Structure 1
Amino acid sequence: MAEPRIVSVSDDDTLLDWQRVHNEIIPTAPLSVEDVRGRVTRHLLEVAYDGDVLVGNSTVRPPSEETAAATVIARVLPEYRRRGFGEAIYQRCLELAGELRSDGIETHILASNEEGLRFAKARGFVEVETYLLPGDTIPFVELRLDE
C-alpha cells in the first residue's frame, strides 16, 4: 500500500492544493479560495502527497446541529487511484473522526463518482439518501458506516 505524506491545510499552498483536488473531483460544486478559507475554520482539511506530487485531499466534519455523525471524505485524483492512497487517506480520516464525540460516521459522494461509491461501499458504508443541491443536476449520495 502506498503511504502518502498527509498534511493539514495550514498555508496558501496547501489551501490551493486542497481546492484543486476538490474542484477536479466535484466539478458541479466548485469552491473559491474564500470558500475553502471558511471551511478550514470549521472542518479538518488535509492534503496528501506522493513525495511532492499532490494525489488527494480529505475533509473531516465534526458533528453538527444537522447530524450527530462525523463526516469523512477522502478524495484521490483519478490518475493516482488504485495505488493505496485512498485507503491511507480514508484511514487517517477515521483516526481524526475517532477523536470527535460523534454518533457514527457518514460520507457524501457525488453520484457520478462510481469509483468513490464502490470504495465506500466496500468499506461498509450503506446508502442513506440521495439529494440534489440547489442548481445542481448531479445528486450527492449520503452513506453511513454500518457498524
Structure 2
Amino acid sequence: MSFAIRELSSEQLPECARLIRESFLAIARRYGITSENCPQYAAFIRAEDLEARRSKGGLLFGLFEADHLAGCACLLPPSRESSPAMLELVAVQPEYRHRGYGRALVQHGEIAARALGAPTLDIVVINENAKLKDWYKSYGFTEIGEKVSSELPYTPCYMGLELDRGET
C-alpha cells in the first residue's frame, strides 16, 4: 500500500494525540508509567500539548495510508546552530505496524533535521526497552547515555544519529 507523509493541520491534532496515546499505552503499562507518576509521558498527551510543541517551532507530521492517519511524529528543531534536532512521539497505529512506516517517519525526521542544519538527530527512549533501542540502532542511532532521575519511573536513554550535512 502506498503512503504519504505531510504536515498535520491544527484540526488533525486531536486525532494525532489519540494515535500517540494508543500507541504508547502498552509501553506505559509494561513499565508502570501512569498519569500520576509521569504526566508528560506520550501515553497521556493531549492535542493542546501538540499545539504547544508547534507554537515553539515543532514540526508535526503524519503518515497517511489513503486518507487514514496511520502514524505521526514530531521534530523539535535545534535550539541553536550546534544543537541537535529532537525526534519524539514517533507512533504507528498497531494495525499498521511492520510495514516500514516507523522507519519512514524516522527518515522524514532525519531529512527535515538535516534541512534545518542540525548536526545530529536525537531521540529519548526507555532504557529498559531493549527491543526499541535495537530498532533505532538498526537505523544508525547510537547510545549517547542514560540519565537516572528520581522524578521518572524509568531510565531515559539518549540516542543520536550523526547527520551528514554535505560538509567536506
Shorter-chain TM-score range? 0.7 to 0.9
Q: Does 1:103 align with 2:119?
A: yes
Deviations 1:34-58 (A, max 9, x none): 2121012220011112113322111
Inter-CA distance 138–77: structure 2 relative to 1 (3 Å threshold): farther
When normalised by structure 2's length, the TM-score is 0.72
* 1:24-103 alignment runs, 5 A limit: 24-27=22-25, 28=33, 29=41, 30-42=44-56, 43-64=58-79, 68-73=83-88, 74-103=90-119
Shift of 1:108: 1.6
C-alpha displacement of 1:146: 4.6
Q: Which has the larger radius of gyration?
A: 2
Q: Mind listing any 5+ residue stretches in structure 2 that lack a counterpart? A: 26-32, 34-40, 164-168
Aligned residues: 144
1:17 and 1:47 in contact (8 A); partners too: no
Runs of 4+ in 1 over 6 A off after TM superposition: none
Question: What percent identity do the matched residue pairs reach?
Answer: 24
Name the amino acid aligned to 1:37.
E
The TM-score, its normalising length taken from structure 1, stands at: 0.81
Deviates more, 1:134-143 or 1:115-124: 134-143
SS state at 1:136 partner? coil
The one-letter code sitting in structure 1 at the alignment partner of 2:108 is: R
